[in-house]
Structure 1
Amino acid sequence: MCLFFANNGNAQDYNSAIGLRLGYPLSLTYKTFISDDSAIEVFGGLRGYSSYSWVNVGGAYQVHKPIEGVDGLNWYFGGGASVFFWTYKNSFTGDGSASTTFGILGNLGLDYKFADSPINLSADWMPIFFIGNGFGSGFGGGYGALAVRYTLN
């Protein structure tokens, strides 16, 4: 197992990329590699409902590993943090409130760069442990997205 994680192969086929995370929540994303197999992804998202909504900003450190036999395909893992700004409006009384929560997140996904195109796709899962009280607290295991990005080499 240690030898697998110590793989020093070139894991990425692009330097940085910008695009959209199409998921929960809808977000703008920017990913840049800081070494051959390590990347930083920052994102900002918005999710709205009839009675409550939130805006979040966060980032994650990711370690990318190639999947042998498929050029341009990598799997990655990592972690990071996020901050959520919640608003809630009671539809019966019209009263509203707001809160802020912080999240510690994990990151596990697949990343693919098309060989003859500046397009990068990734699909991931981001479980979050919310810190604070209010609308977001405890464990949130359902966060993830399909990201579509334009690569900047």
Structure 2
Amino acid sequence: MKKSLLLSFAVCMMAIIFAIPQASAQQGYYNTMVGFRAGTSLGGSVKRFVTDQSAVELMVFNRWKGWNAALLYEYHMDIREFRGMEWYLGGGGHYGVWKEPKAEPPWVYKGTEDYTAYGIDFIAGLEYNFYNTNIYLSFDWKPAYNFVDFTKLWWDEAAFTLRYSF
């Protein structure tokens, strides 16, 4: 049930992201990026620019044998000294599920039931566009605070994301 709820949430968020009008980037093309995340978790990412400097990103990833989805708003700023490099800040929310008997979240000794977590996220990162390509590489740190009593702060979420823009 909770897995289908998470899948429904992710599908709805992707529909919202693709319904938002695309922003015309400075290079003259539209920016929607799809990528693979690897770090403290593994998963995927869809990022869509809504203006030249702001984007909406949906991340779906696996961690501690459970699934999480995060929807974030990000504001991008150029680093003038490095061509193709930007840094970004943002925030949003997340929802995660861990299904028993595979559940191994760090706040329990042994998974005996299904667990959920939801809360707010902050993100800070660097993104590099390989010159004259549609390939991007980013590194971000995404601490999160959960509203569920037993999880509180997740400060260690960091990942590299390899993206393709179309």
Per the TM superposition, whether the score is higher than 0.5 is yes
Aligned to 2:74: 62
Q: Report the aligned-residue RMSD.
A: 2.4
**Could you list the runs of 5+ residues in structure 1 that have no partner in the other structure?**
1-9
The letter of the residue matching 1:105 is D
SS at match of 1:35: coil
Question: What is the identity percentage for the equivalent residue pairs of Structure 1 and Structure 2?
Answer: 31
> What's the offset of the Cα at 1:151?
1.0
- Higher relative helix content: 2
> What's the offset of the Cα at 1:96?
2.7
Does 2:33 align with 1:21? Answer: no
Instruction: Pick from 28, 31, 34 the counterpart of residue 47 of structure 2.
Output: 31
Spell out structure 1 runs of 4+ moving beyond 3 A: 10-14, 87-91
Instruction: Map Cα deviations across residues 76-97 of structure 1 (whole Å, 9 max, x no partner).
Output: 0010111010235499xx9731
Does 2:118 align with 1:106? Answer: no
Instruction: Map Cα deviations across residues 32-87 of structure 1 (whole Å, 9 max, x no partner).
Output: 11001001110111124xxxx21011111000000012121000001011101023
Give the TM-score, by structure 2 length. Answer: 0.73
Q: How many residues align?
A: 135
Larger RCO (CA within 8 A; separation ≥ 6)? 1
CA contact (8 A) 2:25 2:31 kept: no
CA contact (8 A) 2:36 2:162 kept: yes
> What's the offset of the Cα at 1:133?
3.8
Aligned to 1:145: 159
- Higher relative strand content: 1
**CA pair 97-36 structure 1, distance change in 2 beyond 3 A:** same
Give the TM-score, by structure 1 length. Answer: 0.79
**Could you list the runs of 5+ residues in structure 2 that have no partner in the other structure?**
1-23, 105-109
Which has the higher Rg, Structure 1 or Structure 2?
1
Aligned to 1:74: 86
Instruction: Pick from 14, 35, 57 the counterpart of residue 41 of structure 1.
Output: 57
In the aligned structure 1, how far is the partner of 2:111 from the partner of 2:143?
31
In the aligned structure 1, how far is the partner of 2:89 from the partner of 2:134?
23
